[in-house]
Amino acid sequence: MELKSLMEKYGNNMERKKKNKDYLVFVIIILIVSCNKNNQLETYKVSPMLYEFDKKTIAEAYLKNIEYYRLHYPYDLELKQEKAVQVLKDSTAERLLSEQLERHFQQYPKVKRDPANFYKPHAYRILTTNDMVSSPIPTYKQVFVSTDSIIYNKDASLCIAFLCVEDNFDDIEGLEKYDHTFSAEAMVGYRKHPKDTLRTYPMTFFRLMAYDQKKSIVGDLIRLYTTKLKGTVQSWSIYGENRFNHNVGEKGFFTESPLFMKYNDSTYYFQMYRALGKDYRYDYPY
């Protein structure tokens, strides 16, 4: 059976079976089986209530992070600073604006970086002059995020979530016209204690984008993570020369993958990133 038809068949079955309180969701097991026929699998069940709760909170956190950048990234100050430097050639104005920018980032330190480039691209618009400005429309009115599927470890403290992000920007006079796009993203979810809400961290090995079509993009991303992650080396990243010897969903993935090695006593590698030779912890607001 093709992956697409498997998704449709089992997706419909799951919707019917959710009505049975004793039914436990097999989290995209059929997708993994179709992609890993010759590999050992390690998949676990969770209650439908937890599954739906996690899907909802993951999507909401993604939207909240976009909105945080939309509200607080200082595009206006950056534009003024650029004008002072390039047009007015006013060193005093440049210095004052630099100080103002620094104060702004001290007030909103988490907005200064988006190292995974997950959220910021959905938060701005481009003027006809090619300058960036904060989108004038609230995120919830123009960006739609859904959590398609989740794969859990044994105690549901770790998971991999697959999301679809839809940008449906309005055509606003004076702003560059955006195409209607869909992107598929993967994230690591983590909760320290069983009753905690999941915190999510970006996975940037594979990411996909499509124009005006949604049907296959998340399935294609799942296929990549469940068949192509194994053998990956990212020597330039936080993982260094550590090789990924498991695809998502294979036996040993949640216990032996470099993603889940301990960076220090309180931090996993998936919570870290490397930029310009220095290591930092992902520090998104939500």
Query: What pLDDT was estimated at residue 6?
Result: 37
pLDDT above 90 coverage of the chain, percent: 67
- Which residues, including other chains, have CB under 8 Å from residue 268's CB and lie 6 or more apart? 190, 259, 260, 261, 262
Q: Which of 89-98, 122-131, 157-166 has the highest mean pLDDT?
A: 157-166
pLDDT digits (tens, 9 = 90+) for 227-281: 999 999 988 899 999 999 999 999 999 999 999 999 999 999 999 999 988 999 9
What is the rounded average pLDDT for all residues in the chain?
Answer: 86
Contact between residue 93 and residue 77 where contact means Cβ atoms under 8 Å apart:
no
Q: Is the pLDDT of residue 55 over 50?
A: yes
Residue 226: pLDDT band (50, 70, 90) is very high
How deeply is 192 buried, as exposed, middle or buried, from its count of CB atoms within 10 A (0-12, 13-18, 19+)? exposed
What pLDDT does 86 receive?
A: 80
**Amino acid (1-letter code) at residue 58:** I
Which residues are CB-contacts of 200 (< 8 A; sequence separation ≥ 6)? 58, 61, 62, 161, 187, 188, 189, 190
Sign of torsion, CA 227 233 237 238?
Answer: positive
Write down how long the chain is: 286
Q: Which pLDDT belongs to residue 27?
A: 39
What per-residue confidence (pLDDT) applies to 8? 42
Is 60 exceeded by the pLDDT of residue 38? Answer: no
Average pLDDT score over residue span 181-200: 95
Confidence band of 45 (pLDDT split at 50, 70, 90)? confident
What is the DSSP secondary structure assignment for residue 175, as one 8-state letter?
Answer: B
pLDDT in tens, 146-188: 999 999 999 999 999 999 999 998 888 888 888 889 999 999 9
Give the mean pLDDT of 26-42. Answer: 48
Q: pTM for the complete prediction? A: 0.83
